Every structure is written in C-alpha cells, then in structure tokens.
C-alpha cells in the first residue's frame, strides 16, 4: 500500500473539514485507489504548527476538532518545529501541499508566494484559494511541471462541484464559447431574504448569524468574490489574463426592497449574474444584478445554491447546479484533486 504524505497550510473551516473527510474516507481511498493518505504537518497563523514525519495522530486530531475549545496544534508536534511559513514549506515532510489560507482578491498574496515556494521545492500543489488561481495559474502550472508535479484547484469555484476537471477530462475536445451563472452563494441568499421582506442590512445580519458572511461582507455584497471567480474561469478555461479589477463588478447594494417587490410583481427575481465569453468584438465579462424570469434556469436557484451554464461548440447549454454547499463540500474538491494527483502517478 502506497502512503502519500500531505501538509496542510491553513486550518480554518475548510482545512478542518478536509482533515475530517480524509480520515473518514481513508478506508475507501485504500480499497478503491490503492493509497493511504497521511497528514504529516499542519501550519496555521492562529492554531499553531505541528509536524510529525510518521503522521499526525488521527484520533488525537479528531478529538481536538470535536472539543468546543480553541485548537492548539503544537500539542501534536513531534519535531520541535521552529520557523515561519516559508521554513515550514521548505522543511515539511510531504509530497503534496494543501493551501487553504484566506483569499486576497486584489493580488493573491501571500498565498501565491507560499505556493511558488512549494512549487520550486518540487511539491504537488492543491488549493481552494481563488487568488493564486487568478494571479498565478500559468506560473504555478509551469513551476510544478518543471519538477514533474501538478497544480490543482477544483475547490476554487463552486466548492466541490466538478468544473475545471470536466475540461481536463470528459469535455476535452469541446470548445468553450462562454459561461454565465450565479457564482456567489452569499448574495443569492441575501437577495432571497430581501424577497421575504428584509432589508439588505437585515439580510446581512442573518447571513453573519449562520456564518455565510464575514464581519465585513463587502467582498460578497460589492461583487468582488464573484468577479474573482469570473476571472478564474476566464483565465483557466478560456485563455484570458484577467484580474477582478478587469471585471469591474457591480454588486447588490443598489438593489432596494422596492426593486425586489417590483420584480416580484412582474414574475421576476433579482440575481447577481456573472458572465464571460466571446462576442464579435472580443472577450467580455461582467458581474451585475439582473432580473430574470421563470423561463431562466437562474430563477429557481435559491438560498446558498450556485449555478453555472457553459456554452460549447458541441453542447449549446451544459449547466451545473450546486445546492446548499458547506465546508465539507469544499473539502471534497480538495479530496478529488488529491485522487487526481495520485492517479496521475506524480505523488
């Protein structure tokens, strides 16, 4: 049985969900794919660092996750590690680095620099972070390729739903002409709450209470999270070189309760719609609120669900709906990338 050693950089909700999922799925990975995953190191800014070349003790890690108290990973450290994030990347005993640190939509840093360092060392890279995908897709693909390794990022858009892997596999040979959809589940929920009579501010408070919005919800409300996802899809799937600033999103702050009621009276709903694709005069992208009617597939995409539709030369409309995602959904995208890398024979 082949053992594959993994290092986790970042251990927030997604990192924790991935650790749980990895332990839960371990028997299946061994039986179905012929490898045993082993977490050998975890580094965070707020929970400490642990390194154990023999594998972090799974029962102790699960026990720590299950307790309703602050996590202290240093209790699981067996190496006496001392150093910063770059020391961790350089010394960690692993074949694959998983990066789940916070996204920076304006530069992708510092996550992009962390992944550059790991790629130059010769590690396979897996990230759930949209920033490095937008700002470093080509560079990281080239750097990992120089060492015969891979860069994967399925969880960067639509959590664990297969998007990028579709175009590497089942849709190979099809030409992508454009896409549209709802890529930000937070604003979709907020607009639904406004349809139920809440103001935007009240909806944001509710979103924060269930953990879908941050203390500062501007990245979602002002369209920047959607814009970085449009840039990621455009750069990876359509050969563009865009940043969120190129997208210039319009968020939902201008949508008033009166506008929502007026749309309802017309049998329509407001949605924050993302678009990218080729037109006669070039490549165009947009993120802006639009009204859709019941004849649109976006009309019934409710709550925290997301949807993307692809227009291909051989498939006029291929849609993917993701309903009510959670950190475990995102964690599955990381797991799918892990399986892909192991099956590729580079780990």
Dihedral sign for Cα 49, 52, 53, 55, please: negative
328 a catalytic residue: no
Burial of residue 172 (CB within 10 Å: 0-12, 13-18, 19+) is exposed
Q: Are strands 306-312 and 318-322 parallel, antiparallel or unpaired?
A: antiparallel
Residue 292: DSSP 8-state: E
Provide the 3-class DSSP secondary structure of residue 25.
helix
Record the tokens describing residue 256, joined without a space: 């008033």
Dihedral sign for Cα 214, 12, 307, 150, please: positive
Q: Which of 229, 288, 328, 343 is catalytic?
A: 229
Dihedral sign for Cα 44, 47, 51, 52, please: negative
Q: Beta partners for 42?
A: 8, 50
Residues 6+ apart with CB under 8 A from 232: 130, 133, 134, 137, 156, 157
* Beta carbons within 10 angstroms of residue 151's beta carbon: 25
Which residues are identified as catalytic? Answer: 229
């Amino acid at each position: 049985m082949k053992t594959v050693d993994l290092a986790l950089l970042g251990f927030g909700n997604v990192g924790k969900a991935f650790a749980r999922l990895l332990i839960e799925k371990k028997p299946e990975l061994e039986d179905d794919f012929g490898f045993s995953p082993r977490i050998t190191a975890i580094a965070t800014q707020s929970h400490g660092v642990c390194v154990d070349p023999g594998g972090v003790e799974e029962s102790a890690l699960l026990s720590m996750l299950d307790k309703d108290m602050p996590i202290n990973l240093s209790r699981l450290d067996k190496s006496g590690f001392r150093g910063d994030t770059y020391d961790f990347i350089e010394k960690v005993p692993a074949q694959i680095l998983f990066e789940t640190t916070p996204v920076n939509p304006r530069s992708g840093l510092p996550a992009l620099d962390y992944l550059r360092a790991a790629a130059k060392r010769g590690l396979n890279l897996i990230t759930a972070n949209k920033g490095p995908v937008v700002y470093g897709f080509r560079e990281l693909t080239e750097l990992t390729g120089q060492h015969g390794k891979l860069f994967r990022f399925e969880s960067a858009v639509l959590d664990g739903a297969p998007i990028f892997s579709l175009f590497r596999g089942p849709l190979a040979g099809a030409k992508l002409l454009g896409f549209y959809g709802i890529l930000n589940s937070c604003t979709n929920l907020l607009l639904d709450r406004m349809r139920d009579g809440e103001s935007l501010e009240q909806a944001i408070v509710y979103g924060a209470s269930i953990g879908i919005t941050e203390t500062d919800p501007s990245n979602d409300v002002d369209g920047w999270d959607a814009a970085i996802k449009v840039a990621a899809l455009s750069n990876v799937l359509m050969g563009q070189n865009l940043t969120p600033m190129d997208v210039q999103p319009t968020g939902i702050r201008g949508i008033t309760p009166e506008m929502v009621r007026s749309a309802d009276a017309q049998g329509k709903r407001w949605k924050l719609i993302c678009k990218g694709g080729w037109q006669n005069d070039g490549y165009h992208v947009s993120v802006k609120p639009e009204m859709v009617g019941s004849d649109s597939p976006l009309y019934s995409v409710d709550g925290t669900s997301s949807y993307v539709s692809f227009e291909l030369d051989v498939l006029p409309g291929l849609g993917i709906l993701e309903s009510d995602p959670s950190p475990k959904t995102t964690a599955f995208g990381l797991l799918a990338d892990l399986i892909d890398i192991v099956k590729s024979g580079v780990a």
